Amino acid sequence: MSETAPLSAEPLSTGVSTVRRGGAVRRLLRHPLGLASSAVLAAIVLGVLLAPVLSPQGPEVSSLRDAFAGPRAGHPLGFDSAGRDVLSRLLYGGRNTLSGVLLALAVALALGVPAGLVAGYRGGRFDAASSWIVNLVMALPAMVVLLASRAIVGPTVWVLMVVLGVLVSPNFFRLVRGIVVGVRGELYVDAAKVSGLSDLRIVGRHVLIVVRAPIIILMALVAGIAVGLQAGLEFLGIGSGDLPTWGAMLNEAFKNIQRAPGLLLWPGLALGLTNAALVLFAAALRDVLEDRGATVSPRRRRTPVEPPRSVAGERAELLSVRDLAVSYGSREVVRGVDLDVSAGEIVGLVGESGSGKSQTAFSILGILPEGGRVSRGSVTVRGREIVGLAEREHRALRGDVIAYVPQEPMSNLDPAFTIGSQLVEPIRVKLGLSRAEARAKALDLLRQVEIADPERVFGMYPHEISGGMAQRVLIAGAMSCDPELLIADEPTTALDVMVQAEVLGLLRRLQRSRGLGVLLVTHNLGVVADLCDRVAVMSEGRVVETGPVAQVLHEPRDPYTRRLLDAVLDDAPAREPWTPPADSPGSPGRPDPEDSQDPKDSQKPKDSQDSQEVAR
């Protein structure tokens, strides 16, 4: 049972409507970049749409008398080389530019998204064939294809934009396919299949909803690229010369750059603004839709740690925690924990998810997740106060006195390096040994954690070993600097029962031979009974009961501990053998009170009785 970071585990009590589409738009407008870029884009689109109203005259109306004339009343941007109004051409040109971009996007979406969906969801031959074609298209140099297509079909912007759409469609294909391959393996898709949904419906309901946000983000990015490419083509004179577009305006202005350099300014500005706004819009969308950024600022306020309110009882020499509180923002997840571990003692810290047991362990190790901090209390290790210690000193302590064995052995090994090198490196750095010495020590450690063939395992990569073996390797790593205190966070939860029993045996033998103090975080009362001398039971951030294991398990004083023990099924009786249902089979939904098949009635009282008998 992994204890997830409390921030994400906490159900959002803010209400229901926060996540739906309206929420996304609102969040986008609250994002500073999102607001600015949306405003610019809206202004540009509006201006372009209202071109007939806003522009002083038609885009083609020219009077040679006015060629190169400066701004004047009714013509705020002046006139171009042919005496046409610049503002009118800018607005109408924007229409053509943006429609071209929309056309390219539409083509790219129409080709890329459905193909990506099918390829990702179905896999197999269609996937292989379409991926091959897509790779081919991606290998084509876009400019050359665009030039060639112009030569073949003639100089119209629209055809060029269709070709551009085809050329960028692989981006959509690959994005969608990649996501869908991931979604296809999700359990909820399996559940939908079992529910009798057709593939079409599953794609429509479960898959599209996941690819929606990334597609929108990619659209904004591709639109920016398309604007740039199109302008570039027009600027080179490859578009249709007669249609006003921003690129065509740039082209004309460039021809007259000696005479009227100012003419470059307006189309350049329009292009630059549009492009920048699109890119920033995409970035803001990504922040908003993927819940990144703008959430927790890295700015960390140094709030002083309060001293413990009371330091009760004798403090253990090895590890002693008094009145420890851990907060995330203003929320306390650990609220005044007292805990002692002496040398040679195994102390269990049990609790359910969200009880704060892992947070307690993390704060002793100084590895609280982002946003969490020790807000009160005292933690001493070998008599030294470690709350408020600088990160560097804490790190020294971790390698030297305290060792840590995590829950997920596999994700704590780097897949790119061999087991041996992952053991040798820290040993060399920490103990200053030569390579050969460190290697000998690593092999010895592997032997100590009862790995049968240390030489072979030394040269293996993490994916070549089992989970149990990986946990042994991590325990070997933890032992490398001869620690006095071992903190193990659910060390066997991810393992098979048989492997768990072996790893527990190993921990016991290591602890005995080295006289280690161990703090064992677990949710499993069986593991506690198997390994621990004393146990502390945590609930809602507090230690509700602490004592010798036999006493806590047999004579729990706290009602929560009792509730926990009552839920243990070890001594629950096996279910009675099955008896045929009283009436005809195959007619579900028959709540017959006479049918004394209700297993709750027959089992529950007996069970609680039993467990009490056993417990007392």
Partner 1 sequence: MNPLLKVSDLRVSFPGKGWRAPRVEVLRGVSLDVRPGETVGLVGGSGSGKTTIGRAILGLVPVQSGTIEFAGERIDGLSPRRRRALARDIQVIFQDPYTSLNPSLTIGDTLSEPLLAQGHAAREARARVAVLLDRVKLPADAADRLPREFSGGQRQRVAIARALAIDPRLIVCDEPVSALDLTTQRTVLDLLLEIQAQTGVAYLFISHDLAVVRFMSHRVAVIHRGEIVETGEAAAVTSAPENPYTRSLLLAAPIADVERQRARREQFEREVASPRA
User: Which one of 194, 390, 416, 436 is in contact with partner 1 (CB under 8 A)?
Assistant: 194
Residue 50 CB neighbour total at 10 angstroms:
11
- Asked if 416 touches partner 1 (CB under 8 A), the answer is no
* CA torsion angle 504 416 121 215 (round to 10): 120
> Cβ distance 537 to 552 under 8 Å?
yes
- Asked if 590 touches partner 1 (CB under 8 A), the answer is yes
Shortest CB 528 distance to partner 1, Å: 7
- Asked if 301 touches partner 1 (CB under 8 A), the answer is no
- Asked if 200 touches partner 1 (CB under 8 A), the answer is no
- Asked if 97 touches partner 1 (CB under 8 A), the answer is no
Shortest CB 174 distance to partner 1, Å: 22
Q: Which residues of 194-211 are buried (b: 16+ CB within 10 A; e: fewer)?
A: eeebeeeebbeebbbeeb
Show the binding pattern over residues 201-220: x = contacts partner 1 (CB under 8 A), - = does not.
Answer: x---xx--xx----------
- Asked if 505 touches partner 1 (CB under 8 A), the answer is yes
Q: Give how far the C-alpha of residue 274 lies from the chain's centroid of Cα atoms, to the nearest Å.
A: 31
User: Which one of 575, 594, 613, 616 is in contact with partner 1 (CB under 8 A)?
Assistant: 575
- Asked if 25 touches partner 1 (CB under 8 A), the answer is no
d(CA 202, CA 121): 10
List the one residue out of 19, 16, 8 whose CA is nearest residue 370. Answer: 8
Cβ proximity to partner 1: between 392 and 575 the closer is: 575
Q: Which residues contact 492 (CB under 8 A, 6 or more apart)?
A: 471, 499, 500, 503, 504, 522, 524, 527
Q: Could you tell me the two tokens for 308?
A: 């413990």
User: Which one of 370, 385, 400, 570 is in contact with partner 1 (CB under 8 A)?
Assistant: 570
d(CA 372, CA 465): 34
User: Which one of 66, 317, 332, 502 is in contact with partner 1 (CB under 8 A)?
Assistant: 502
Cβ proximity to partner 1: between 63 and 597 the closer is: 597
Which of the residues 303 through 362 are near partner 1 (CB under 8 A)? 352-353
- Asked if 385 touches partner 1 (CB under 8 A), the answer is no
Cβ proximity to partner 1: between 4 and 63 the closer is: 4
d(CA 447, CA 161): 67
Which of the residues 426 through 465 are near partner 1 (CB under 8 A)? 450, 452
Cβ proximity to partner 1: between 109 and 192 the closer is: 192
Q: In what order do the strands lie in the sheet with 542-548?
A: 402-405, 485-489, 517-522, 346-350, 534-539, 542-548
Cβ proximity to partner 1: between 11 and 74 the closer is: 11
Using the rule CB under 8 A, give the single segment among 150-158, 297-305, 361-369, 594-602 that binds partner 1: 594-602
DSSP assignments along 104-141, one per residue: HHHHHHHHHHHHHHHHHHH-HHHHHHHHHHHHHHHHS-
Cβ proximity to partner 1: between 97 and 539 the closer is: 539
